Amino acid sequence: MFHLQVLGTSSAMPIPGRGTTAQVLTYNDKHYLIDCGEGTQTQMMRFKTKMHRLDALFISHLHGDHILGLPGLLSSFSLEGREKALKIYAPAAIKTLLDTVFQLTYSYLSYPIEIIPLEDFQVGNVVFETDSLEVRLLPLKHRIYCRGFLFKEINKKPKFDFYKAKALDIPNNYFHLLKLGNNITLEDGTFIQAEQVLNPPDLPKSFAYCSDTAFYPDLIPHIVGVNLLYHEATFANDQQKRAKETAHSTAEQAATIAQNAAVKQLLLGHFSARYKDLTPLWNEAKAIFPNTLLANDGETYPIND
Ligand SMILES: [Zn+2]
Ligand SMILES: [Zn+2]
C-alpha cells in the first residue's frame, strides 16, 4: 500500500474548496504528514484521515501556508492523549515557533516531540529510513530555506511464485520458509532452492514532493524516473513574471521538470487563489507532459508503476 492523500491545494491562503498545503503519504500502514498549513486538522477530519496514527512529520519550509496548522494539530494529539513520540523533520527554527506558541498558550504536550533539523543534511542524503522506505532531501529554490522530499521503497524482497511452487509439488507448509529465502529438503529427499520459486522483486516505487520552488533544473537528477512527482504550479503562463519574483513555478515549468526527469506521472498543486478555474494550468502543463493531474483537496493518488 503506497498512496498519497492531498489535504490542501491552495497557495498562500485557503479559499473555499482549497485548503493550504498538507499531504499524507501512506506506505505499508505507516502515515507521514508532509507540511501542515492552516486548517490541516479540519481537512483531516473532513477527508477521514486517520490523524492519530501519524508516524512522522516532514516540513519543507517555514512559510505560513505550510506550517500554521502545526501547533493546533500537535495540541489536538495531546488532547486525544497521544503518548507515542513524534519526530518532526523540519528547518531548525521550527523549534522556536513551537516553543513560543506552547509557552505563551500554557500548552503541555502529552507526548515527546523530537525535531530533526533538515540543515543537518546535504541534499540527496537520507534523512529518514525504515526497513522498507527511505526519505532523501531534495534541493528546491525558494525565497527562504526550503527542501523537498523523495520517498522511495528500499530492500524490495523477491516475490514468491505460488504456481512455480505448485508445479514442483511443494507442500504448502514449506512456503513460508521459501518466501524467507531458505532452501528446503522435502520429505522424499528432493532439494529445493528458494530461487526456484522466487521471482525478482518489483522495481522500487518512489514519490517526490516539491513545494515551494522556482523553476529549478538542479532538481532534475534527484527525481529521475519517480513514479509520482508532486510539483507546485502556483501560476499559469500569464503570471510568469510574478512566478519569478515570488520564487514559484508555472504549470508549464513544473511540466518541463517532469518531462526532463522522465517521471511517470505529474501531480500539480499549490494553486494561486486567482485561478478559480484551473483548466489553463492543466492545458499548459499537458502540452509539455501529457500524464499530468491537477491535485484535488481530499483526493488520494496511488503510487504505482
Ligand atoms: Zn507555499
Ligand atoms: Zn513558500
In the chain, residues under CATH classification 3.60.15.10 are 2-156+202-302
Q: Is 305's pLDDT higher than 90?
A: no
What is the C-alpha separation between 79 and 41, in angstroms, rounded? Answer: 13
CATH class assigned to 2-156+202-302: alpha beta
pTM: 0.93
Grid coordinates given for 271: 494553486
The angle formed by the CA atoms of residues 44, 152 and 292, to the nearest 5 degrees, is 65
> Looking at the CA of 35, which ligand is closest?
1
Query: Shortest CA distance to 254 belongs to which of 240, 245, 241, 28?
Result: 240
Cα(211) to centroid of ligand 2, in Å? 7
Query: Shortest CA distance to 73 belongs to which of 92, 89, 54?
Result: 54
Q: Could you give the residue numbers annotated as active site?
A: 65
3-state secondary structure of 189: coil
Tell me the mean pLDDT in the region 41-68. 94
Grid coordinates given for 168: 514442483
Question: What confidence category does residue 86 fall into, taking pLDDT thresholds of 50, 70 and 90?
Answer: very high
- How many CB atoms neighbour CB 110 within 10 A? 13
Cα(55) to centroid of ligand 1, in Å? 23
What is the C-alpha separation between 289 and 296, in angstroms, rounded? Answer: 19
Residues 6+ apart with CB under 8 A from 271: 9, 10, 11, 18, 233, 234, 278, 281, 294
Cα(274) to centroid of ligand 2, in Å? 17
> Looking at the CA of 61, which ligand is closest?
2
3-state secondary structure of 64: helix
Cα(39) to centroid of ligand 1, in Å? 14
What is the C-alpha separation between 136 and 128, in angstroms, rounded? Answer: 7
Cα(176) to centroid of ligand 2, in Å? 49
Tell me the mean pLDDT in the region 80-93. 96
The kind and range of the H/E element at 228 are strand 228-232
Q: Is 270's pLDDT higher than 80?
A: yes
Q: Please, what is the average pLDDT of the chain? A: 96
Rounded alpha-carbon distances, angstroms, from residue 109 to 64, 67, 81, 157: 22, 18, 9, 39
> Looking at the CA of 270, which ligand is closest?
1
